[in-house]
């Protein structure tokens, strides 16, 4: 087997050996041991968002997008509701697309991919458009790595008596987002990003009263969060085959998350990783898309180097040979590539990655990463 690569990507990402080992046991989906483990995982997910009591965590089989679609489909009423999506990248556009596919009234405001969405522009829009009942925002827009001011957004949405959906996929577990400080109707995230579990499960943390009122609203049987929640309430079981190994891996990942000091500890390791990545790449001439004050410690977008000897495919392959998988750009405005700093990676891995970039540039005959 080739050397197992480290994933410098935004998910799936590098997991610990112990998280992978947690999948070596088979669990019966109706076994009391699995039911207890599953209930523990859901409670802990809810606690990370400071949602105990008022909120409930409901998982869905599948990737993060399944959870986002379940969230919108279940909690955005079919009638007398309109969603406003704040867009500054591909995941914002995906929220709009989901609402359109579901046939729900939706509108959006758009900013460029290198700037956060603007709370004051949102406030202005909400005060003059009373047809909007719900707002959706992406916490860290993984397209560029930009951090959106979710706390300010939430306060405006609450003050103007609307309800907020948050796509917290790439930030959940690494950046604080607590129900007490950031009032939200529901947020969606997944097992395979900053919680450092394996892919296969998305989840929504939803206001319990709103979820209870959403019976019959969903467009889908499998993606009905109310139905899924009722299933757990009835007997602790998933309605349809659960991703048992993914749940077991997530239980282990949450133990490791707690051992690291929760959101504060994990966020600090990622910020340290980001520091090494930024300093190292800038030292080689590369330039970032974003200004540092709006850069989340999740993934960094680098502008494509101008040197004609630089070829992204060759760069990607040479990095892969050295044991690092990087990520192509997803920007619509500029040619770029991305490197993540999340997952089970520490300073030594980030330094090794910078060294690999340096060696690769030498091999390609690229003098500088300057755009
Ligand atoms: C990863 C991600 C998603 C979900 O993508 P999937 O490929 O369905 O897991 C949604 N929103 C954001 C911001 C993400 O980073």
- 222 C-alpha to center of ligand 1: Å? 19
- 143 C-alpha to center of ligand 1: Å? 10
Joined together, the tokens standing for residue 155 give 């306060």
Joined together, the tokens standing for residue 55 give 């909120």
Joined together, the tokens standing for residue 142 give 């993984």
According to the model, what pLDDT value does residue 331 have? 79
According to the model, what pLDDT value does residue 134 have? 98
Q: Give CA–CA dist 156/166, Å, rounded.
A: 14
Q: Is 229 touching ligand 1 by the criterion CB < 6 Å?
A: no
Q: Is 142 touching ligand 1 by the criterion CB < 6 Å?
A: yes
Which pLDDT tens digit goes with each residue over 228-284? 999 999 999 999 999 999 999 999 999 999 999 999 999 999 999 999 999 999 999
Q: Give CA–CA dist 168/190, Å, rounded.
A: 9
User: What is 102-137 written as a DSSP string?
Assistant: TT--EEEEE--TTSPPPHHHHHHHHHH-TT--EEEE
C-alpha distances in Å from residue 334, one per residue of 153, 181, 274, 327, 355: 27, 35, 22, 15, 26
Q: Is 252 touching ligand 1 by the criterion CB < 6 Å?
A: no
Q: Is 71 touching ligand 1 by the criterion CB < 6 Å?
A: no
Mutate to test the pocket of ligand 1, among 71, 85, 167 (most ligand atoms within 8 A of CB): 167
Q: What residues form DSSP beta bridges with 175?
A: 172
- 150 C-alpha to center of ligand 1: Å? 17
Burial 302-341 (b: 16+ CB within 10 A, else e): bbbbebeebeeeebbebbeebebbbbebbbeeeebbbbbb
Q: Is 64 touching ligand 1 by the criterion CB < 6 Å?
A: yes
Q: Give CA–CA dist 238/256, Å, rounded.
A: 25
Mutate to test the pocket of ligand 1, among 117, 167, 169, 191 (most ligand atoms within 8 A of CB): 169
Q: Which residues contact 355 (CB under 8 A, 6 or more apart)?
A: none
- pLDDT per residue, tens digit, the chain (371 aa), is 456 899 999 889 999 999 999 999 999 999 999 999 999 999 999 999 997 789 999 999 999 999 999 999 999 999 999 999 999 999 999 999 999 999 999 999 999 999 999 999 999 999 999 999 999 999 999 999 999 999 999 999 999 999 999 999 999 999 999 999 999 999 999 999 999 999 999 999 999 999 999 999 999 999 999 999 999 999 999 999 999 999 999 999 999 999 999 999 999 999 999 999 999 999 999 999 999 999 999 999 999 999 999 999 999 999 999 999 999 888 777 899 999 999 999 999 999 999 999 999 999 999 999 99
Joined together, the tokens standing for residue 178 give 């607590």
Report the atom number in ligand 1 closest to the C-alpha of 138. 13
| Sheet strand arrangement including 336-340 | 299-303, 336-340, 327-328
Q: Is 184 touching ligand 1 by the criterion CB < 6 Å?
A: no
Residue ranges of domains in the chain, CATH in brackets: 6-11+261-364 (3.90.1150.10), 18-259 (3.40.640.10)
Joined together, the tokens standing for residue 300 give 């960094």
Q: Is 91 touching ligand 1 by the criterion CB < 6 Å?
A: yes
C-alpha distances in Å from residue 357, one per residue of 38, 153, 326, 369: 41, 38, 11, 10
Rounded to 5 degrees, what angle do the CA atoms 252, 223, 37 make? 25
Report the atom number in ligand 1 closest to the C-alpha of 202. 9
- 264 C-alpha to center of ligand 1: Å? 22
First to last CA, the chain: 36
- 196 C-alpha to center of ligand 1: Å? 14
Question: Helices (DSSP H) in the chain: which residue ranges?
Answer: 17-21, 32-48, 64-75, 90-101, 119-128, 150-159, 208-212, 225-235, 244-259, 262-283, 312-321, 347-364
Q: Which residue has the tokens 């105990």?
A: 52
Q: What residue owns the CA closest to ligand 1's atom 12? A: 169
User: What is 325-358 written as a DSSP string?
Assistant: E-EE---SSS-EEEEE--SS--HHHHHHHHHHHH
Q: For the whole model, what pTM was predicted? A: 0.97
According to the model, what pLDDT value does residue 333 have? 75
Q: Which residue has the tokens 């085959």?
A: 241
Q: Which residue has the tokens 């859901």?
A: 42
Mutate to test the pocket of ligand 1, among 63, 94, 146 (most ligand atoms within 8 A of CB): 63
Q: Which residue has the tokens 């966020």?
A: 267
- 118 C-alpha to center of ligand 1: Å? 22
């Amino acid at each position: 087997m080739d050397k197992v690569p480290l994933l410098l990507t935004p998910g799936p990402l590098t997991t610990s050996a112990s998280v992978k080992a947690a999948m070596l046991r088979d669990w019966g989906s109706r076994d009391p041991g699995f039911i207890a483990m599953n209930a523990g995982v859901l409670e802990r997910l809810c606690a990370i968002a400071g949602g105990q009591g008022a909120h409930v965590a409901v998982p869905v089989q599948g990737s993060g997008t399944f959870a986002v679609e379940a969230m919108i489909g279940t909690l955005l009423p079919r009638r007398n509701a309109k969603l406003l999506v704040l867009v500054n990248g591909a995941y914002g556009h995906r929220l709009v697309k989901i609402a359109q596919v579901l046939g729900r009234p939706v509108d959006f405001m758009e900013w460029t991919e290198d700037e956060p969405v603007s709370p004051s522009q949102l406030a202005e829009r909400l005060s003059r458009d009373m047809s909007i009942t719900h707002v959706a925002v992406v916490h860290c827009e993984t397209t560029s790595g930009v951090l959106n001011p979710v706390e300010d957004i939430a306060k405006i949405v609450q003050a103007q008596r609307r309800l907020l959906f948050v796509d917290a996929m790439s930030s959940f577990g690494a950046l604080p987002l607590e129900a007490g400080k950031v009032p939200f109707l529901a947020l969606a995230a997944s097992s395979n990003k900053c919680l450092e579990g394996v892919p296969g499960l998305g989840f929504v943390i939803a206001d319990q009263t709103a979820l209870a009122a959403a019976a019959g609203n969903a467009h889908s049987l499998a993606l009905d969060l109310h139905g899924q929640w009722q299933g757990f309430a009835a007997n602790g079981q998933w309605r349809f085959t659960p991703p048992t190994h993914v749940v077991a891996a997530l239980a282990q990942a949450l133990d490791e998350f707690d051992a690291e000091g929760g959101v504060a500890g994990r966020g600090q390791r990622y910020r340290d990783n980001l520091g090494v990545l930024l300093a190292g790449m800038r030292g080689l001439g590369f330039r970032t898309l974003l200004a540092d004050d709006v850069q989340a410690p999740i993934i960094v977008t680098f502008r494509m180097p101008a040197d004609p000897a630089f070829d992204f495919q060759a760069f990607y392959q040479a990095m892969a040979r050295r044991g690092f998988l990087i990520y192509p750009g997803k920007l619509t405005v500029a040619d770029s590539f991305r490197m993540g700093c999340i997952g089970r990676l520490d300073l030594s891995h980030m330094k090794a990655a910078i060294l690999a970039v340096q060696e690769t540039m030498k091999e390609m005959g690229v003098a500088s990463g300057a755009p």
